Structure 1
Amino acid sequence: MTADPAHLTLWPAPHASGAVDATVHVPGSKSVTNRALVLAALASEPGWLRRPLRSRDTLLMAGALRAMGIEIEEGVGPDGTGEAWRVLPTGLRGPATVDVGNAGTVMRFLPPVAALADGPVRFDGDPRSYERPLNGVIDALRHLGARIDDDGRGALPLTVHGGGALEGGTVPVDASSSSQFVSALLLSAPRFNQGVEVRHTGATLPSLPHIRMTVDMLRAVGAQVDTPESGGEPNVWRVTPGALLGRDLTIEPDLSNAQPFLAAALVTGGRVLVPDWPARTTQPGDRLREIFTEMGGSCELTEQGLEFTGSGSVHGIDVDLGEVGELTPGIAAVAALADSPSTLRGVAHLRLHETDRLAALTKEINGLGGDVTETADGLHIRPRPLHGGVFHTYEDHRMATAGAIIGLGVKGVRIEDVATTAKTLPDFPGLWAGMLGA
């Protein structure tokens, strides 16, 4: 799965000499930034995004929208303070070529947008992007009237032949492999002639908080959305056609990217403050408060942000992560350093993420002397004394941060390609060193 480490840059993961005590300003949420960009591009008037995340995934999204004719101006906010992007919805057009990199949000959220463009839009990306499932979006768009050329792969590369509009209507979708299939259709649905009624047909639906995030953000820009939580049918979401408003939106910190820093407090028995942690949020990372408390820490949400404190002990956990699967690598890393076994359940869909995260975590933790076994839908982790070695990342940002967490407690861990963290977290090595007082 990985090239010869002799030909790759290895980052010596810093080993903690004592308890950390730091304030870490976590950059904005990738999930919120990319949804906000799509909604602003589809709006009927200009909008502002304050404190957007500048990372590989968000810059790919912005670049893709620009390729389709949307103007995005980077500068300061309307009050003259802080970084902000002004989005001018100047019309969607082709021909265009979109580079999705390996960003699930770009490859899944933008084909419905492209169906509304005048002209063809070609989607291509990193080699790994060809292996990630897109059939849920492709089949649904065809059902709704779009013309897509994918040579029958159900995956990238593909071309969406935009006709300037899409009829919309009722569509069955099996989103068992990714909740992004549902979010992708909901985000563009206000611009469909009939809106959309998405009916999830699969046995399971991972990452529900991300669908709730999509719904909340749609409602914030004026869309009418009926959901199972608002009294609708189970597994059915309806969006009414209508104009979207331009908004002045401040992007929340990325709570999933706060995970390694909170884990550092837990693993070292220290304290980390993350400013601007929202009191109410749909971000899956908010579950860390509960999970890491159960694993031995304590937290307090104050006006300054979230203050998380480790107790000096790390406990194993038995937890269903089906709704918050992206947190699995960091939780597995902490579990490998715990004083009792852990079972992480409900995350079979992680085999289809940036890499097969379950196989990768098993191989890399065991390569450092650990005892991890894959289950049908997760991992069982029995703590063992770990030793140094190379921790491969498979071009997966969350694998890199998981390795850094283990490195805090284990000397001699070297992370292959730590630069992959730039996918969602710019200058992770700098933030990590700053937290450790380096």
Structure 2
Amino acid sequence: MPDSASSQPFRSTGSDTSTSAASSGGHWPAPRAERPMRARIGLPGSKSMTNRALVLAALSQTPCRIRHSLVSRDSELMIGALRALGVRVEATDDTGTELSVTPAPLRGPAAIDVGNAGTVMRFVPPLAALASGTVDFDGDPRARERPVGELLSALRGLGADIDDGGRGGLPMTVHGTGAVRGGEVTLDASGSSQFVSALLLSGARFTEGVHVRHSGPPVPSQPHLDMTVEMLRSAGVAVSTAEDSWKVEPGPIEVSDITVEPDLSNAAPFLAAALVSGGRVTVEGWPEHTTQPGDRLRSLLTRMGGEVSWSPEGLTLRGTGRILGIDADLRDVGELTPTIAAVAALASTPSRLTGVAHLRRHETDRIAALATEINRLGGDVEELPDGLVIVPRPLHGGVFHSYDDHRMATSGAVIGLAVPGVEVENIATTRKTLPDFPGLWAEALA
């Protein structure tokens, strides 16, 4: 696509890549990059910022407008959860990206479907504890396997009444009493930084606020915690932080307008495509300063052979014709691992990716899944307890399974750029965070 081409992220090209195979969960033939990619990409809003914004707007003392929000399964699940608790959420434009949120007293009875959205299964239970009435939670089969026990124990320590049958996970029932005492609590957040964010986002509404201390291995995804703190402060909440300690003072939440940044993590496959194809991709609207983990793509893909430049119009990555392996600790940016692993499988030198043991409890065991699928195509990948060692080998075509994991699906698409005959199983799972990925991918390659 020429650089002046359209950057509308939701427009399908009508090509074969957006047909029934993509929408029905079948096998999607991953397109080859027949020439260097030249594209400008406009990405939808950040899932992480959208769902945090929705929670803060629901707890605000004033109505709030959320601009450039993400339209995806995860955001729809969050909106459904808030509506079930009595919050009014309405789209104010035809795309559904502009939202009006009108707070209301939180109440049950309610039944909440978390799907397989970590933000919903973790951010909403503290809201349910603030509600009046019983709130039931359940979700996809995989959601029942994902860690949430540390958060539930912490909520109980803060005064919430939760019945999970001793499972430490879904399904569960929160018996809301209209208030949560709050105070100080210690938990092990090494399984997910969302345990901490969940308590901080609602903490100002707890009677005593909340002081969260972490005890255990390092907390992953520090940028997501920074995002939570920054958004709380923008909503007028007093937050103080120290090493492994976060304190939110009790008080009102007042937010009237939130603009969501483009989802920088969703830029990963497109920037990787520039590197793999030896082309050039510009992601429009890339903020100069941001707390999003995806911003680390600048340094990671530069180390892997790309050249990166930034301007007020966006971030551009240019492939140089070489792809290098990398030795990287990805603890803070684990969600980028599938894309980095896909590029590493196509590199000229080995890679070692570490610090991501927590990925074994994400949408799937991403460490095992990446090793299995790259090796299925002829690769040489060794699992580590907390990561992967990837030795590049000539790859061949075959089915790349997604495990109903959006980031696995997009990593298969990246490999397919350079390897003929790759078919990604259930590319439709990308709708979790990126509407019409097949159409946008086809546009970028056109």
Q: TM-score range by the shorter chain?
A: over 0.9
Q: Which residue of 1 aligns with 2:292?
A: 283
Once residues 348 and 265 of structure 1 are traced to their aligned partners in structure 2, the CA distance between those partners, rounded to angstroms, is: 29
1:227 is paired with a residue whose SS is: strand
**Mapped pair 1:75 → 2:75:** no
Q: Which residue of 2 aligns with 1:52?
A: 69
Cα deviation, residue 377, structure 1: 1.1
Matched ranges for 1:213-228 at <5 A: 213-228=227-242
Once residues 379 and 52 of structure 1 are traced to their aligned partners in structure 2, the CA distance between those partners, rounded to angstroms, is: 34
Cα deviation, residue 247, structure 1: 2.3
Of 144, 165, 170 in structure 2, the residue corresponding to residue 151 of structure 1 is 165
Give the partner amino acid of 2:156: R
Of 153, 177, 199 in structure 2, the residue corresponding to residue 163 of structure 1 is 177
Structure 2: which 5+ runs fail to align?
Answer: 1-23
Cα deviation, residue 82, structure 1: 9.0
Contact 1:50 1:82 in 2 (8 A): no
Once residues 8 and 54 of structure 1 are traced to their aligned partners in structure 2, the CA distance between those partners, rounded to angstroms, is: 19
Once residues 250 and 39 of structure 1 are traced to their aligned partners in structure 2, the CA distance between those partners, rounded to angstroms, is: 13
Q: Which residue of 1 aligns with 2:262?
A: 253
Q: Which residue of 1 aligns with 2:35?
A: 18
Assess, with a 3 A threshold, how the Cα gap between structure 1 residues 156 and 403 changes in structure 2: closer, same or farther.
same
Of 324, 331, 339 in structure 2, the residue corresponding to residue 322 of structure 1 is 331
Once residues 409 and 385 of structure 2 are traced to their aligned partners in structure 1, the CA distance between those partners, rounded to angstroms, is: 24
Matched ranges for 1:339-418 at <5 A: 339-418=348-427
Q: Which residue of 2 aligns with 1:134?
A: 148
Query: What percent of counterpart residues are identical?
Result: 63
2:374 is paired with a residue whose SS is: helix
1:249 is paired with a residue whose SS is: strand
TM-score by length of 2: 0.94
Post-superposition CA distance 1:144-164 (Å, at most 9, x none): 111101000001000000110
Once residues 189 and 388 of structure 1 are traced to their aligned partners in structure 2, the CA distance between those partners, rounded to angstroms, is: 50
Once residues 13 and 281 of structure 1 are traced to their aligned partners in structure 2, the CA distance between those partners, rounded to angstroms, is: 32
Contact 2:25 2:427 in 1 (8 A): no
Once residues 247 and 187 of structure 1 are traced to their aligned partners in structure 2, the CA distance between those partners, rounded to angstroms, is: 16
Once residues 57 and 312 of structure 2 are traced to their aligned partners in structure 1, the CA distance between those partners, rounded to angstroms, is: 30
Give the partner amino acid of 1:375: L
Q: Which residue of 2 aligns with 1:176?
A: 190
**Mapped pair 1:426 → 2:432:** no
Cα deviation, residue 8, structure 1: 5.8
Q: Which residue of 1 aligns with 2:17?
A: none
Cα deviation, residue 249, structure 1: 1.1
Give the partner amino acid of 1:416: E
Once residues 131 and 303 of structure 2 are traced to their aligned partners in structure 1, the CA distance between those partners, rounded to angstroms, is: 48
Give the partner amino acid of 2:112: V
Once residues 167 and 106 of structure 2 are traced to their aligned partners in structure 1, the CA distance between those partners, rounded to angstroms, is: 26
Cα deviation, residue 246, structure 1: 2.2
Cα deviation, residue 24, structure 1: 0.8
Cα deviation, residue 279, structure 1: 0.6
Q: Which residue of 2 aligns with 1:336?
A: 345
Post-superposition CA distance 1:276-295 (Å, at most 9, x none): 00011000000000000000
Matched ranges for 1:292-307 at <5 A: 292-307=301-316
Contact 1:365 1:372 in 2 (8 A): yes
Q: Which residue of 2 aligns with 1:236?
A: 245
Once residues 8 and 206 of structure 1 are traced to their aligned partners in structure 2, the CA distance between those partners, rounded to angstroms, is: 31
**Mapped pair 1:27 → 2:44:** yes
1:92 is paired with a residue whose SS is: coil
2:253 is paired with a residue whose SS is: coil
Structure 1: which 5+ runs fail to align?
Answer: 1-6, 229-233
The count of residues paired between Structure 1 and Structure 2 equals 423
**Mapped pair 1:269 → 2:278:** yes
**Mapped pair 1:201 → 2:215:** yes
Contact 2:223 2:332 in 1 (8 A): yes
**Mapped pair 1:313 → 2:322:** yes
Cα deviation, residue 83, structure 1: 4.0
Contact 2:25 2:429 in 1 (8 A): no
Contact 1:21 1:270 in 2 (8 A): yes
Give the partner amino acid of 2:235: V
Q: Which residue of 1 aligns with 2:18?
A: none
**Mapped pair 1:61 → 2:78:** yes
1:380 is paired with a residue whose SS is: strand
1:265 is paired with a residue whose SS is: helix
Cα deviation, residue 204, structure 1: 1.6
Q: Which residue of 1 aligns with 2:110?
A: 96
Once residues 428 and 102 of structure 1 are traced to their aligned partners in structure 2, the CA distance between those partners, rounded to angstroms, is: 19
2:360 is paired with a residue whose SS is: helix
Q: Which residue of 1 aligns with 2:4?
A: none
Cα deviation, residue 269, structure 1: 0.6
Assess, with a 3 A threshold, how the Cα gap between structure 1 residues 311 and 358 changes in structure 2: closer, same or farther.
same
Cα deviation, residue 399, structure 1: 0.2
Once residues 108 and 295 of structure 1 are traced to their aligned partners in structure 2, the CA distance between those partners, rounded to angstroms, is: 35
Contact 2:70 2:97 in 1 (8 A): no
Q: Which residue of 2 aligns with 1:231?
A: none
Once residues 96 and 402 of structure 2 are traced to their aligned partners in structure 1, the CA distance between those partners, rounded to angstroms, is: 33
Post-superposition CA distance 1:252-287 (Å, at most 9, x none): 000000000000000001000111000110000000
Give the partner amino acid of 1:250: T
Cα deviation, residue 76, structure 1: 3.5
Cα deviation, residue 376, structure 1: 1.8
TM-score by length of 1: 0.95
Once residues 119 and 263 of structure 1 are traced to their aligned partners in structure 2, the CA distance between those partners, rounded to angstroms, is: 48
1:332 is paired with a residue whose SS is: helix
Once residues 155 and 73 of structure 1 are traced to their aligned partners in structure 2, the CA distance between those partners, rounded to angstroms, is: 31
Contact 1:46 1:246 in 2 (8 A): yes
Once residues 436 and 287 of structure 1 are traced to their aligned partners in structure 2, the CA distance between those partners, rounded to angstroms, is: 24
